[in-house]
Amino acid sequence: MMRRWALHWQILVAMVVGALAGIALNVGAGQRTVELTKTELAGRAISFRSEDSLDRIHIEWEDSSGKRHTWQVDPSRRTEGSLASLEQLAARDPVAYELFMQFGQSPARYWGQTAKRTGNLFLRLLQMVAVPLIISSLVTGILGLGGVARLGKMLGTTLVYYIATSSLAIITGLVMVRIFRPGLRYPVPLGSWEPPQTTSRLGEIVWQQIETLMPSNPLGAVIEPNFLSIISFSLIFAIFTLIVGGKAQQVIQSLFEALFEVFMAMTKAIIRLAPLGVFFLMLYVTATQGAALFASLAWYMVTVFTGLVFHAVITLPLILLFVARVNPWRYANAVMPALLTAFSSASSNGTLPLTMNCVEERAGISNRTSSFVLPLGATINMDGTALYEAVAVLFVAELYYGGDLLFSQQLLVAFTALLASVGAAGIPHAGLVMMLIVLQAVGLPVTLQGVIIAVDRVLDMCRTCVNVWSDACGCAVVERLLPPDK
Does 471 help bind ligand ASP (rule: CB under 6 A)?
A: no
- Residue 77: in which H helix or E strand, if any? none
Closest by CA position to 281, among listed 336, 355, 343, 351? 343
Sheet of strand 47-52, all strands in order from the earlier edge strand to the far edge: 32-37, 47-52, 57-62, 68-73
Closest by CA position to 389, among listed 313, 339, 463? 463
Q: How far is the CB of 432 from ligand ASP (least distance, A)?
A: 6
Does 287 help bind ligand ASP (rule: CB under 6 A)?
A: no
Does 18 help bind ligand ASP (rule: CB under 6 A)?
A: no
Q: How far is the CB of 350 from ligand ASP (least distance, A)?
A: 7
Q: How far is the CB of 93 from ligand ASP (least distance, A)?
A: 29
Q: How far is the CB of 349 from ligand ASP (least distance, A)?
A: 6
Distance CA 442, CA 193 (A): 10
Per-residue mark of binding to ligand ASP, 343-382 (x: CB under 6 A): ---xxx---------------------------------x
Bridge partner residues of 50 (DSSP): 34, 59
How big is the site for ligand ASP, counted in residues (CB under 6 A)?
16
Instruction: Please identify, among the stretches 48-56, 146-154, 283-291, 340-348, the one whose residues bind ligand ASP according to the rule CB under 6 A.
Output: 340-348
Closest by CA position to 304, among listed 433, 460, 199, 189? 460
Sign of the torsion formed by the C-alpha atoms of 85, 389, 425 and 208: negative
Among 109, 311, 368, 463, binds ligand ASP (CB under 6 A): 463
The phi and psi torsions of 10 (rounded to 5 degrees) equal -60, -45
Q: How far apart are the first and last CA of the chain?
A: 45
Strands 57-62 and 68-73, sheet pairing: antiparallel
SS3 41: coil
Q: How far is the CB of 130 from ligand ASP (least distance, A)?
A: 12
Give whichever of 22 and 350 is closer to ligand ASP, judged by the CB atom: 350
Q: How far is the CB of 75 from ligand ASP (least distance, A)?
A: 17
Bridge partner residues of 69 (DSSP): 61
Does 165 help bind ligand ASP (rule: CB under 6 A)?
A: no
Per-residue mark of binding to ligand ASP, 383-402 (x: CB under 6 A): --x-----------------
Closest by CA position to 414, among listed 433, 396, 441, 436? 441
Distance CA 95, CA 70 (A): 12
Does 166 help bind ligand ASP (rule: CB under 6 A)?
A: no
Does 435 help bind ligand ASP (rule: CB under 6 A)?
A: no
Q: How far is the CB of 386 from ligand ASP (least distance, A)?
A: 9
Give whichever of 241 and 347 is closer to ligand ASP, judged by the CB atom: 347
Bridge partner residues of 73 (DSSP): 57, 83
Instruction: Please identify, among the stretches 132-140, 223-231, 286-294, 424-432, the one whose residues bind ligand ASP according to the rule CB under 6 A.
Output: 424-432
Instruction: Please identify, among the stretches 204-212, 255-263, 292-300, 460-468, the one whose residues bind ligand ASP according to the rule CB under 6 A.
Output: 460-468
Instruction: Please identify, among the stretches 121-129, 254-262, 396-404, 420-428, the one whose residues bind ligand ASP according to the rule CB under 6 A.
Output: 420-428
Distance CA 405, CA 398 (A): 8
Q: How far is the CB of 247 from ligand ASP (least distance, A)?
A: 41
Distance CA 181, CA 183 (A): 6
Q: How far is the CB of 433 from ligand ASP (least distance, A)?
A: 8
Distance CA 424, CA 205 (A): 11
Among 431, 437, 452, 477, binds ligand ASP (CB under 6 A): 431
Q: How far is the CB of 218 from ligand ASP (least distance, A)?
A: 23
* Contacts with ligand ASP, residue ranges (CB under 6 A): 346-348, 382, 385, 424, 426-431, 460, 463-464, 467
